[in-house]
Amino acid sequence: MRILAIALVLTGAFMVIELLGGLLTGSLALLADAGHMLSDAGALAVALGAARLAARPPDERQTMGYQRAEVLGAALNAGALIVLSAWIAVEGFERLGTPHPVVAGPMIAVATVGLFLNIGVAKMLHGDHDNINTRAAFLHVMGDLLGSVGAVTAGIVIWYGGPTQIDALISVGIAVLLFVGSIRVLREVAGVLMQAAPDTVDVSAIEHEIAHVEGVDSVHDLHVWTLRPGEDVLTVHVVVCDGDNAGDVCRRVRDRVALQLPGAHITVQPEPTSAPCSAPVRHHAHHH
């Protein structure tokens, strides 16, 4: 949270500088970058709010806690980025047709400062890969970093007498990169909200493992989903062999699953069977 707060203050302050710079120099790349900065500041604010909400303990209404707030924050941010990248692309294509005059010197200066600021913020956010919320904010900042590189490049080209359309071309390129990144975050968010099993988990392999635990006759209603990236939940019903201690069987199942899904919330529901166990699953039929 502290990192997000520092990043927010730095980004907000620089956005104002860049906006003024873009208006004074006539550079779309700078204005696009300021637009990014605005969405960045928004992204960091959403991420910060979501992180604060996610830290709240579970209560009677939200028995699972508020961790999904971070997933919603990421969705909000990715959606905003898609709208922003579309706007920049449209504006860029318009400018390719009708070149605007751009003042290169100040543009390079402002963009260079922005570049260093973005590198700093990106480094601060980079460590937290598991957290989809921070990752969505990091994506905004990376988009910004590319924006700064683009604005510096465009400024240099124009400074040396190149076509001013380079400014618009680079802006369109950045918009495309941002759009792709946003779609990826949205896909992950959709997976979490649709209660999909995490990509890294082979559900049929886990089911096979559980079926071969000593004392288990059969397995059904196996569900695996993600509370938020990095935090998984598994529930399963196991039919326990007649005469076996259900508590022991459940503990064995839980231990076996914990090897596959370290750190997951695991719930095992035993069900008795009156029939003797089918031999193939149990490796020690001689107990009967």
| Topology agreement, domain 2-193 and domain 203-287 | no
Higher-confidence residue: 218 or 281? 218
Contact at 8 Å (CB) between 158 and 104? yes
* Model pLDDT, residue 130: 67
pLDDT in tens, 95-109: 888 777 778 888 888
Mean pLDDT, rounded, for 261-273: 90
Distance CA 82, CA 73 (A): 15
In this prediction, residue 237 has a pLDDT band, given cuts at 50, 70 and 90, of very high
At 74, which amino acid appears?
A
Percent of the chain with pLDDT over 70: 94
* Model pLDDT, residue 105: 84
* Model pLDDT, residue 221: 94
Fold of 203-287: Alpha-Beta Plaits (3.30.70)
pLDDT in tens, 244-256: 788 999 999 999 9
Mean pLDDT, rounded, for 193-210: 90
In this prediction, residue 129 has a pLDDT band, given cuts at 50, 70 and 90, of low
pTM for this one? 0.71
Fold of 2-193: Alpha-lytic protease prodomain-like (1.20.1510)
* Model pLDDT, residue 286: 43
In this prediction, residue 208 has a pLDDT band, given cuts at 50, 70 and 90, of very high
Mean pLDDT is lowest, of 99-113, 203-217, 218-232, 273-287, for 273-287
Domain boundaries, the chain: 2-193, 203-287
With b for 16 or more beta-carbon neighbours within 10 A and e for fewer, the 103-118 pattern comes to ebebbbebbeebbebb
Mean pLDDT, rounded, for 7-18: 82
Q: What is the spatial order of strands in the sheet that 231-240 belongs to?
A: 216-228, 231-240, 265-272
Higher-confidence residue: 189 or 236? 236
Mean pLDDT, rounded, for 14-34: 77
In whole numbers, what is the pLDDT of the chain averaged over residues? 83
Q: Is the pLDDT of residue 287 over 50?
A: no
Distance CA 159, CA 161 (A): 5
Q: Is 159 exposed, middle or buried (0-12, 13-18, 19+ CB in 10 A)?
A: middle
Mean pLDDT, rounded, for 273-279: 69
Phi, psi of 271 (to 5 degrees): -135, 135
Distance CA 7, CA 128 (A): 14
Higher-confidence residue: 15 or 28? 15
* Model pLDDT, residue 74: 85
* Model pLDDT, residue 77: 83
